A and B are shown apart, each in its own frame.
Chain A
Amino acid sequence: MSEAAKDSHISVEQQRYATLLSWGSRSGLAILVVSFLAYVLSWMPARIPLDQMPDVWSMSAHDYLLQTGAPTGWQWLSLLGWGDFASLLGIAWLSGASLLCLFAVIPIYARRRDWVFVGLCIVALLVQFLAASGLLTAGH
């Protein structure tokens, strides 16, 4: 018997959230490790050579972008052929792991007419999408 089934006081939406979060975080970590190995073991070329990293990692993010021409926002997606940017895929995956979970529990709350939590999930999703969108800009 599963842990969830034994603990009947755990709500259906919480169980669904947990299952999806587990898949999201495990797959994200797998992507992170594989892409990082491809980067540091030179299976994939690095856009900024690894031996030059000590020259740039002491700069502020703003100076680093100016010096290296590294992309901002979602432009790194067009550079997935490079090991240093392929590694960002796992990081973005982990950062977005909660999105699917929030989507998935909305129908459960809606069926129960728990409109406050439907609204909370939608607001949580909007906050995450706003953060991920790259529309919010700040910098040195």
Chain B
Amino acid sequence: MLNIALVKMRDMGGLLKANALLLLLSLSLFTAGAFAAESMPAASTMPWWGWAIALFITCFFLGIVAVPSGVGGGVLFVPIVGGFFPFHLDFVRGAGLLVALASALAAGPSLLRGGLANLRLALPLAVLASASSIAGAMIGLAIPAHIVQIALGITILGIVILMALAKKSEFPEVAQPDKLSSALAMNGIFHDAARNQKINWQVHRTPLGLMLFVGIGFLAGLFGMGAGWANVPVLNLLMGAPLKVSAGTSSFILTLVDSSAAWIYLNKGAVLAIIAVPSVIGMMLGATIGAKLLHVLKASVVRKMVITLLLFAGLRALLKGLGIWI
């Protein structure tokens, strides 16, 4: 009895600590954003290393919240860094792609080995999305930055609505696979550690899924964001892949989609190491902490915090693009 009470108290203490950490994180992110925004007109007064450190710290915090909230780091990175740091959006998008790519590459091997990412499911979708991400990257670098900024703001606000409203289905029912997915054998088995059982899965509505991935790849290249926010609902809710397989396969798809777009940004001189590398390292270290806090933090609270952050960043991008809040 006493043991149970002690365990409960310890759990509550952990939860309190986690929520205090969360509050600190959200305050830090808002403060960093506001500070950077205030500093922008006098950007030259801050030395390069000050910006590099601010970028590293911001990405570290973004990495912590990215994992428990279930969104990729890239989707947080582009609007927040694009809105509150003095870097041109071209370089922010180039760095955003690398942040998303590095995170996906780090997770990819274990997802493949664990069966949570599936090569047969991913390859057909990734080929189309990679090709369209090249088109997105080229168009993104060709049109004026304020147009991209407005479109980014609208897209981020759309993601906020999607995140707030979208439902998830852990094991969607697929009564019969469609002809295309049967021909390509887009099915598999994964071991669900939580239930300690092997789950057979198959997908349907593949042609529509392929078409949507063309659009998703285009947006990934255009805005330099990872596209997990769109990949997962299409794989899970539309095509009927189990939620864990959808999340794992989505991450793996990004290794191909983001690399195609990243080459375009790299070839066009839109990748600056001083912006990209601190971002990648900060995000990856933060994500490592985030993964460890996954069991302690309350995912719904983190998710609400991320939705608020994205709402703020989306409005900032939109108003910045419209020239209202420079």
The distance from the CB of A87 to the nearest CB of chain B, in whole angstroms, is 3
* Interface residue ranges of A68-111 to B (CB < 8 Å): 70-74, 84, 87-88, 90-92, 94-98, 105
Which chain B positions have C-beta within 8 A of A121?
123
Contact across chains for A120 and B272 when beta carbons are under 8 A apart: no
Which chain A positions have C-beta within 8 A of B277?
32-33, 36, 87, 90
Contact across chains for A21 and B109 when beta carbons are under 8 A apart: yes
Chain B interface mostly helix, strand, loop or mixed?
Answer: helix
Partner of B189, one of A9, A17, A57: A9
* Interface residue ranges of B49-105 to A (CB < 8 Å): 49, 51-52, 86-88, 90-91, 94, 98, 101-102, 105
Contact across chains for A54 and B43 when beta carbons are under 8 A apart: yes
The range of chain B's interface size is 35 or more
Give Cα A58–Cα B90 distance, bound, in whole angstroms: 9
Please tell me if B208 contacts chain A, counting CB pairs below 8 Å. Answer: no
* Nearest-neighbor residue (CB-CB) of A5 within chain B: B113
Interface-centre pick from A14, A72, A127 (highest chain B CB count, 10 A): A127
Contact across chains for A127 and B86 when beta carbons are under 8 A apart: no
Contact across chains for B188 and A61 when beta carbons are under 8 A apart: no
Contact across chains for A97 and B273 when beta carbons are under 8 A apart: no
Please tell me if A1 contacts chain B, counting CB pairs below 8 Å. Answer: no
Which chain B positions have C-beta within 8 A of A33?
277, 281
Contact across chains for A138 and B268 when beta carbons are under 8 A apart: yes
Contact across chains for B144 and A140 when beta carbons are under 8 A apart: yes
Please tell me if B163 contacts chain A, counting CB pairs below 8 Å. Answer: no
Quick one: given A3-B114, A21-B109, are A91 and B88 in contact (CB under 8 Å)? Answer: no
- Contacts A15-B112, A39-B274, A131-B259 known; 6 new A-B pairs at CB < 8 A: A9-B190, A18-B108, A18-B113, A21-B108, A132-B263, A140-B145
